[in-house]
Amino acid sequence: MNIRIKLSLFALIILTIDLNVEAQNSPNIILIMADDLGYGDVGFNGNEIIKTPALDQMADQGLVFDRFYAAAPICSPTRGSCLTGRHPFRYGVLAAHTGGLRDGEITLAEVFKNQGYQTGFFGKWHLGWVKPDEQWDERGIYSPPRYHGFDHTFATKSAVPTWNPTITPEGWNAWGEKEGEPWKDGTAYVANGKVVTENLQGDDSRVIMDRAIPFIEKAANDDKPFFTCIWFHTPHEPVVAGPEYRAIYEEYSEEKQHYYGAITAMDKQIGRLRDKLQQLGIAENTILWFTSDNGPSGHMVKPGIASAGKYRGSKHTVYEGGLRMPTVLEWPGKVAPGRTSYMSGTIDFLPTLMALAKVEYELDDRPLDGINIEAAIYQNEKERPAPMAFGWMRLWADIKALAWTDNQYKLIVHELKDQVELFDLVQDPSESKNLAREMPELVNKMKESLNDWEKSCQLSRDGRDYRY
C-alpha cells in the first residue's frame, strides 16, 4: 500500500469519526400531539380529576407554556403548521378533509433528514390520504407522510376509535360507520404504504407507541439522531377507554369514564416513552415537546366532560378555548424547568427546532409565520416581537373565522357574518368583554394588519412560493 492510499484511508477514518461525533451531538427530537385535548384536561394545568402523572412529571421537569397556540381551532390545518412553520392559509389546508399537504412545502422531516436524521411518523396524519387505493377520493388527495420526508411511517388518514381502533364502538352510528362493524373497513392503519392488520387491539395509544419505540430503539442502537412525530388520536371521538382505565373513574358517568380513561391511557404511553429514553441513555439528548392540535370538542365541553380551563370557546372557535393548548417542552440539562407566558404556537416549531438543533437549511426565502422562540426558552423573554394569526374556513358552510393577536389585544373577525370582536387578553383572558366599540382605532389598525397578512397568504396559496 503506497503512502497516498494510506493517507486517503486515514482521512476517511477521520471523516467517519467526525460524522459519528456530530451525530452523537445532534439532539433527537420527538413531537407528541394529542387530538382535541383541552387546556384544562391535564393535571399540570389544574385538572384535579383526570390522572396524567407522566405529563405532570414532564411538566415538573420541563418548561410549561401557558400561552401556546394552535394555528387553527381544527386538526388538519394545525398539523401542517407544526411541520412547515407556516399558517394553513399559506398552504391551502383550510379545514379537515379539504386537501392535503403540498409537495412543495418544506417540512421538519425533510430538514432533519437532510442532516442525516432518521425520520419517523406514528399516528394520526390528517394531511392527506395514506392508502394508495384512496388516491382519487372526492374530498382529499393522496399525500402520505412518506411524501414529506418521513422514512418510516405508521399512520391513519384521520380519526379512529381510541380503543380497538379497527372496530366501530358500541353506540356509534355517525360518519357512515355502524356499531360492531370494521372501522374504515378495518384498514385504517398504513405502514410504509402497506395496510396493517396485526397488533391493533386494545388501547390505540399503545398501538401507536408499539410502533414508535422500536423505531427509536433502532436509531439509538445505530447511533443515529432521529426526528419523529407521535400524534395520538386521543381524546378525539369516538373516544373509548378500556375496562382498566374506565375502572379508575368508576364514580363518574359513562361518558366521563371513557374520556378521562382514554387520556390516562395516553399518558401511560407517554410515561412509557420517557422511561425508554432513560433506559436507552438518550433522555438528556432528546427534545420532547408535547401539545394538542386544537381545543376540546364543544359537545364534550358543554356537559362538563372536557375542559378548556378558564378560557372561552372550544374546537371550531377562534376564542382562547379553541386555540390555547396544554404544552410542555422537556430537554433535561438544557431547558430549565418552569412556566412561561410567552406567546408562541405550533407555527414556531420549525424555526425553533432548527435553532435548538443548530441546523441550517435553505427555505427558498419563502415566508414563515413562525419565529425562533429560543429567547423565551433560554432567557425567559416575556413578549413576542411579532403578532400571530389564527383561522379556518369552510365557505360552503358560511365559516370564515380569523383572529389576530399581539401580546395584549386580540381581534376576532367573523368575516361572513360581519362581526368583529376585540379582547384585552392581559386583563380579560377569558374574553368576556368585547372592546370593539370602545376602541375603534385599534380595531381598524389591527384589521389592516390582518388584511395585509391574509393577502400575503393568498399569494403563497396561489403558488408564489413554489418552483416549477
365-408 pLDDT, tens per residue?
899 999 999 999 998 899 999 999 999 999 999 999 999 999 99
Which pTM was predicted? 0.94
Does the domain spanning 28-379 belong to CATH 3.90.1150.10? no
CATH fold for the domain made of 388-461: Arylsulfatase, C-terminal domain (3.30.1120)
Please return the burial class of 202, using the count of CB atoms within 10 Å of its CB with bins 0-12, 13-18 and 19+.
middle
The predicted structure's pLDDT at residue 19? 40
Domain with CATH 3.40.720.10 in the chain: 28-379
How is residue 444 written as a grid cell?
381598524
Domain with CATH 3.30.1120.10 in the chain: 388-461
CA atoms of 186 and 193, how far apart (whole Å): 16
CA atoms of 150 and 210, how far apart (whole Å): 18
pLDDT tens-digit readout, 264-287: 999 999 999 999 999 999 999 999
CA atoms of 119 and 153, how far apart (whole Å): 9
Single out the residue of 170, 193, 194, 166 nearest to residue 180, CA to CA: 170
> Looking at this protein, which amino acid is placed at residue 391?
G
The predicted structure's pLDDT at residue 136? 60
Residue 60 contacts residue 259 (beta carbons within 8 Å):
no
User: CB count, 10 Å around CB of 46?
Assistant: 11
CA atoms in the 13 A half-sphere facing the CB of 251: 2
Q: Is 415 or 456 the better-scoring residue by pLDDT? A: 456
Residue 138 has pLDDT above 90, yes or no: no
Helices 349-356 and 75-84, axial angle in degrees (round to 10):
30
Mean predicted confidence (pLDDT) in 216-229: 98
Q: Is residue 243 classed as helix, strand or coil in its secondary structure?
A: helix
